[in-house]
Chain A
Amino acid sequence: MSERTARVQTPWEVFIRPRRGLSHQHVGSVHGADADMALANARDLYTRRGESVSIWVVRSDAVRASSPSEKDPLFSNAADKPYRYPEHYVALNEGGSHDG
């Protein structure tokens, strides 16, 4: 539950599962004074053409971000660890692409 009362122009972040087997993906934001309104607005705005299996809306002020900037110390430790990726190692087959 968010701290403050919502208004007609309170922003909500919208997440859509485009089809089964995929996770919800952030697509943008909408306004809404309550979750019902935000959901209805998200449906009308983001699913006019596309198939969508489900929609989540989350109040934008309820999102906790890892740092005030996108230049983020939280992820700097991931930058120089090539050993986390398969390409770092010798290929299992001739082509070297997918290991099947």
Chain B
Amino acid sequence: MTTTDASGEEGFTEHFEALLAADERIEPRDWMPDGYRRMVLRQVAQHAHSEIIGMQPEGAWLTRAPSLHRKASLLAKVQDEAGHGLYLYSAAETLGVSRAELLDALHGGTQRYAATFNHPALTWADTGAIAWLTDGAAVVNQVPLCHTSYGPYARAMRRVCQEEAFHVRQGYDVLWSLCRGTPEQQEMAQDAVNRWWLPAVALMFGPPDTTAGGADDRTAAMGAAVSRRSMAWGIKRHTNDELRQRFVDNCVPQAERLGVTLPDPAIRWNEERGHYDFGPIDWRLFREALADNSQCARQRLAHRVAAHEDGAWVREAVDAYAAGRYEEGQSA
């Protein structure tokens, strides 16, 4: 047993561990180990950035939505994503970093966002497939995060989850109409599902952390170490592979009802496991997307940076105006 040093860190560690053991939340002004703070921050920041970058593929279709009803629901959805990004940036700020630092990290590429969004949204049907599959995967990830150990993150996730259910239904509804439309529309829907299925299955749940799902032992072991740490701290509640399985189990009957084929011939019900089997994931594709070198990845980041730089004069004006008003108040 280590002796308590002058800073009294030993007592703090015990208190922190006791809170976790009692399934209590950690709040911003609690003492926490640096590793915990870094891990929460990395996850919350990545999540926030994903919401903001995730606005782009669907946002590009706002001006082309094929009915006024679809336009309104897509606007509401993209707007929610901006809102979710803001909830999460607020949660990240409670860990002592500013929004400016977080955005710099996004723009500079030192913090990541979900690589799923580095795929292009090529047709109107993509707005449906993204919402059904990508948001559907996000919900599977996010529901357990409503009970994550860091209080501000859990509270942000509760808000996000309340709103996210609408996104998945909205996307499914877009595809539902297409699947009941002309043969050309059905083809467009199937094509979009073909392109968004694997990104959702592979990239929305992170790397393999068990040997399920096609990972080799070494990759799985690396993933497992990260997941174990995160789960011990109550940040994550389930392994990536557990959540991935849950997602596949959700989607297969939904796809059948919709009338689309999921692009994985290995999908079939496994009576023994009580789950759907699915084909091994091509983790090479996963790593390529992580390399941030695709044309679309560059475009996503360039779009975001351009918006930020074009708006610099506006933000400077706001600061100058506020400072001027403050001085007026001082001299009065």
Contacts and interface: CB of A to CB of B under 8 A. Distances in A.
For the side of the interface on A, what is the size category?
20 to 34
B31 A69 contact: yes
Given A7-B318, A8-B315, A37-B318, A29 B93 contact: yes
Contacts of A28: 87, 90, 155-156, 159
A89 B229 CA distance: 45
Interface in B266-319: 315, 318-319
Contact of B322 (A29, A34, A69): A34
A7 B319 contact: yes
A71 B15 contact: yes
A33 B93 contact: no
Contacts of A44: 83
A25 to B, nearest CB: 12
Interface string A69-82: 11100000000000
Q: Is the interface of A mostly helix, strand, loop or mixed?
A: loop
A69 B100 CA distance: 26
A68 to B, nearest CB: 6
Interface residues of B, number: 31
Contacts, number: 57
Nearest to B89: A31
Q: Is the interface of B mostly helix, strand, loop or mixed?
A: helix
Interface string A33-62: 110010000001100110000000000000
Contacts of A48: 76, 79-80, 83
B98 A9 contact: yes
Interface of B: 15, 27-31, 76, 79-80, 83, 86-87, 90, 93, 98-100, 155-156, 159, 163, 315, 318-319, 321-323, 325-327, 329
Counting from the closest, the 9 A-B pairs by CB-CB distance are A5-B326, A33-B322, A8-B318, A70-B27, A33-B318, A7-B319, A29-B90, A8-B315, A5-B323
19 contacts: A5-B322, A7-B318, A8-B315, A8-B318, A9-B100, A28-B90, A28-B156, A29-B93, A30-B86, A31-B99, A33-B322, A44-B83, A48-B80, A48-B83, A49-B163, A70-B27, A70-B29, A70-B30, A71-B30
Interface of A: 1, 5-9, 11, 28-31, 33-34, 37, 44-45, 48-49, 65, 68-71
